[in-house]
Structure 1
Amino acid sequence: SSLVKAGLIPKLRQDNTEKWCILPAIRPGETPLQGLNNVLCNAKLPNVEPQNPQHNLAMSIDVWAKNNPNSKLLLFIDQSEEIITLCQNYDQRKEFFQQILTAINAHGDKLRVILTLRSDFEPQITDVGLKLAPEVLNQLETTVLINLWQSGRFIVPAMTRGELNEAIEKPAQARVMYFQPHELVEKLIDEVADMPGALPLLSFALSELFLKYLRRQREAQYRGITIDRALTQADYQELGGVMRSLTQRADKEYHLLVQENPAYEQVIRHVMLRMVALGGGELARRRVPLSELEYPPAKNDLVKEVIENFTTARLLVEGQDAEGNPYVEPAHDALVRGWQRLLEWKHLDEENLLLQRRLTTAAVEWQSVKSKKQSSGQFLWNANPYLDVLNKALNCEDNWLNQVEVDFVRRSVRKKRSNTIVGWSIAGSVLGAMIFYAAVWMQWRNYEITQANSLARSSLSLFAKYKDMEALVEVIKAGKILQKHKASDQKVISALHKVLDEASKGNRLQGHTNRVTRFSFSRDSQTLASGSRDKTIKLWNLETGKVIRTLIGHDDSVRSVRFSRDGQTLASGSDDKTIKLWNLETGKVIRTLIGHNSHVESVSFSPDGQTLASGSEDKTIKLWNLETGKVIRTLIGHDDSVRRVSFSRDGQTLASGSDDNTIKLWNLETGKVIRTLIGHDDSVRSVSFSRDGQTLASGSDDNTIKLWNLETGKVIRTLIGHDDSVRRVSFSRDGQTLASGSDDKTIKLWNLETGKVIRTLIGHDDLVFSVSFSPDGQTLASGSDDNTIKHWNVETRRKILTLQTLQTLIGHTNRVTRFSFSRDSQTLASGSDDNTIKLWNLETGTEIHTLIGHDGAVNSVSFSRDGQTLASGSDDNTIKLWNLETGKVIRTLIGHDGAVNSVSFSRDGQTLASGSDDNTIKHWNLETGTEIHTLIGHDGAVNSVSFSRDGQILASGSTDKTIKLWNLETGKVIRTLIGHTNIVNSVSFSRDGQILASGSTDNTIKHWNLETGTEIHTLIEHDGAVNSVSFSRDGQTLASGSLDNTIKLFRIKLFGNLDLNLDSLMAKTCDWVRHYLENNPNVSESDRQLCDHVKK
């Protein structure tokens, strides 16, 4: 865009050899024809009228040419990928392309058309453009157009390192600035070299560096000192480099607003999601008219503040379209494609977003007609099946509808009610009262079942937002409607399956009126004590979820609570500078310990129960004699607040973590420091000894956890994964797992042998301040700034294995793409980008054969069941069948027009299926080598094919994000499974044929009920594309392989509720949620009775 606007167009205007008429730039947007007409109107040329073939672009140029015989006309279509990403109307796309192509064909001598577009959208633009070429163009003319495109292409090359160096250093030199160290310039260049679209990001990062310098300079002036005019590496690292500078700034603006008012969280979410284009497969920004960001009054001021703050931060830009209408859009595509928070919102709200786009278009059209005083009733959605969903959304406090959409939905609902009343009045008068009431009952029944569907969708939406208990309540309401009408609805039953199977936590404990700061399990794991900023301590019965007792006595926030080993006493530390010892039988204070000069951050009983240690913001640790209440010793050594103290199991050592970034180990007999552990870059918030006393874990504000060898004082391992401060760490009883709670609102469970995350527990709405394993190791409790305690079942639902290398097979000269085991597990076949297949003896690790014959990379290999034949698919568009005894080709199957990505033998070994980049699947007779069927239906490359066990069904996964199930007898599609948001890479049938697993580039694994075609589960366990999924032979395990470099194994007991009927599902779901309904104070009275008449 910049090259055309700042380079080419000015050059043409200065050129005296030719006279140019340059029209204003067109931004296609959602209505490209409107953009074209705006430009024509600006040039005083006739508009294009699709309904009138005579009024086309070629005719408009005719008019212009007669008045300008010696000039040429330049039409500039800027960011033309918007025709794909923003224009969802197929007829509009078609008309726009046909107008442009017809005009080029008619006025090749006069007209020049320039398109700018992101290079990743070029295949789609050319493909769609030529598909929609006017029918009047003959083959020769179409070929001319193709040649024009090829000859006119100009790829704006990436800047060279020298050019990037100038772009970085010269502006700095102009302001008498320099980079410190100078190697920082090279680091910046290394980060953006060869990156498409890097310059705007680099510009933003440099601007942020300059702003950081200006802040440092102002602070220095205030203190009366002078600083170097340097852009520093420390500031660069704080920004997160070029790539993260933009998204970190977005996170910063987000947190600033949310801290000011929590309501901003939903407002930012709703505003930013409107700026994401959903079309075209690739993420792109969307220009949003300011009129679309007009909300009801209560929300409108917040929206304006968000736009103003994000615009000031250069995250958004405002402008006007050709008609003068104001708009706002993301300043960089990188914000849409790289801001993790926005990507998560998009993933969670995908269904709502698609509905919102359709609704916005309909509401704007209705408003436009209504504003012209014309009849607008026919534009309402009174008959639209989504109206009930929208009406439910409208009644939610944090709904996403803008003012026009709100008015549109309300009027649609009103009209639907009016039509229903009128319709039934007529029916009643004609058919009589009896039929009328029967029909009303039927209508009511249908309405209620529609409501059940809406509740099921709401349940899945709540579940996607990790609100498990609320999701269970919604789906129970849906199930009760079905029970009431003795009806069956697969969507509701599927939602019951999914939410029940995936619910992973027990009761949510709610009762505190402010942040939960600390808690502690009793030794028998039956009771939990929680301390809060509301100055109280609550004791909870974990079996029932009820409060046993509330302990009141502190005058300020309770910072720490801890049970004594005998379970009879509780110690609590507070911001009122005191420690209280409580008798748990009576709930009375036994003793108040006074001695600290500031907040008491942490308390810990010694293993023998005779001593209590306390850490304080006064930088000291005190050891108290519990019998007398006197201070035994004060440990002095830290240079800042002591955040955490913990006794070793033998009671001889105390560990303390401090805001001075260190951990100290104290000899309790002498009161001296044994060792200071240095390694964290920020405050140490938590320390915890392993049960064997050999390891210490520490959590820090530097976002990391460190494991320390206490004998040597060295770091064993640093665990990295949290995006914010780590507040608490806790070892499991067996010492194999560590739990950590963080300001990023998550809890992570770590495998201490590998240092990898086992699972991330998401469910809190605010910072996680405390985590603790129950003594029996079965559950985990977490406390949060959202005022709740969550009680988690930490059984991980997967096998945790250490995979050891048995042998390394070396021989290929390029990337190994696929491998397959023979049925007897004695032989491995591997396919490679070196165009060969190798057969390996797994006992000896030696190569048996190298199969040579393909002229392209080998993408897939598969053994026949008898182990005598191997099939291979290749980039050379062929499939080869190999005799494994001789290593010779038996037959080459030719028929695909693109690379063959997947091959699979049927169980009887008589047929083979192959999936290809030509978007087809071929079913081959292996005896004759001929095609039985070509299965056509996918809109993208077919990446995976798999036979069902009975050989009657074939499943295929495609780049078009869908899975298709095919009847192999007829070659027809039985069902299309839609749910993945990116390429489907792999599909696999379960042994019983009831379930299909699929792995996708959207990083998820989905499980599908093949009888109904509905999704059962989504497993979000990988941090990269899932390239392979496969069920084990015994059907008990599912394996998945991912680009995150991990293989994960899942137990199939996950699907244990598949065979339950509605009544059984309802009973099981109510069993799960009953305590929550009975004990949670936020549950309404009507909801509290939901399970009263459901059998246990």
Structure 2
Amino acid sequence: MLADLSAEPGALPLLQYCLTEVFERRQDRLLTLGAYQAIGGVQGALARRAEERFLAMDEGHQASARQLFLRLVTPGEGAEDTRRRLRWSEMLAIAPDRAVMQAVLDDFGRYRLLTFDHDPETREPTIEVAHEAVLRGWQRLRGWLEDSREELRLQRRLAAAAEEWQKQAKDPSFLASGARLIQFEQLEKGNTVALTEAERVFILASVAQRQAQQATEEARLARERALEQRSRQVLRALVAVFFIAAVVALGLALAAVQQQQAAEEARDDARENAATAVAERDRADNEARVARSRELSVRAINALDEGSLDTALLLAIAGYQVDDNFATRSALLTALQSEPALVTILHAPPGQARATAIQPDGSQAAAAVDRSVQRWDLATNQPLGAPLAGHTDVIWALAYHPTGQWLASGAEDGTIRLWDAASGAETTVIDAAADTVYALHFLPGWGTAFRRRSRKFARLVRARRRIAG
């Protein structure tokens, strides 16, 4: 019995309940294993108690109990369902009547089917199913989960998306769209799983964004249809002109010369009209291009004011490519003046460079490429010899000694290696206690500090011989 209970919170009341059930089935004042097995063990006893408490409730309390327990379970993805710790605020958000929900909590809590605690970080009250046996043995809960398994998984995705949207200051790019939004809408209409106000607001905001996008698209299509209609009208007008000219030519055979002149005049007019239409179209296109380029220039300046230098430079280049004018040139020059100068481009061997370092006097640079270190002479930008090899795993950190005499490298193989910066010869290997070295720094005197795998702690190690500095 103790093994079945394990170290769950509230284990003693559950043990008391199971012992009471077994005691009622005692044989000649003996508590037997058969009696324990007859009540179904801890799982059966808890399931029976949960069902008894549920059946004792009215319809409204039962509905609240169903929504509560659905929120208290994480549906398994190819595995067993598990308990889920529910925040008090989330529980209140799905309760249509808080008094009813509180009564449900009190009832199941009184009979040790639920436990209550606080979140260790926020100190917000939390609720949790007292024992995994409730999830496995209470058939009514199993039925709820099977009936609403897909809806529960969808609700968890909705909750995560709504929370991320809130964290990102309601950035529209984090709203749902497409098939995912349709699924969320169907979940809201289904009423199988109760949704919080935050989840409903997320769906409403996503629907509003979709409607706005649809309206924009419809307006674009309307403009295209109007342009097409105007083109057909112009074409019909031209056809009519030529038709009338032909009729006049046939009807006025005696005035052939005059008709020919009239036809030529009509053709000239048509050409002028066509040329005028082309000129107007070109002018409209040019105005649109200029307006677009200026809009991009303004956005570039705004991004520059906000400190987004990369975004500002991209917008300024895009505006200049759309149209070369004073505004776009000014925005591009302003962004370029704010861009730190790109001094040198060094070409590393094939592989992924994960760390770089520059010698204090600026004469040499190094880059960690996979398991080796490549050095360059910055006066000529040429590699200094072959890559430094010795590590057996990926190198994550590089650092030059303040004097520039040594170069240190730290890798995932748990070692720090010291190299002579001038010759590239390996001078020392330091054991980092079989831990990945993510960062290195020389300290005055004897040591080198490095950051370990956890990325939360630093460690000081002593080199095998004193390094001056």
TM-score range, shorter chain: 0.3 to 0.5
- The TM-score normalised by the length of structure 2 is 0.44
Q: Which has the larger radius of gyration?
A: 2
- The TM-score normalised by the length of structure 1 is 0.22
The structure with the greater share of residues assigned to helix is 2
Select the structure with the greater relative contact order (CA < 8 A; seq sep ≥ 6): 2
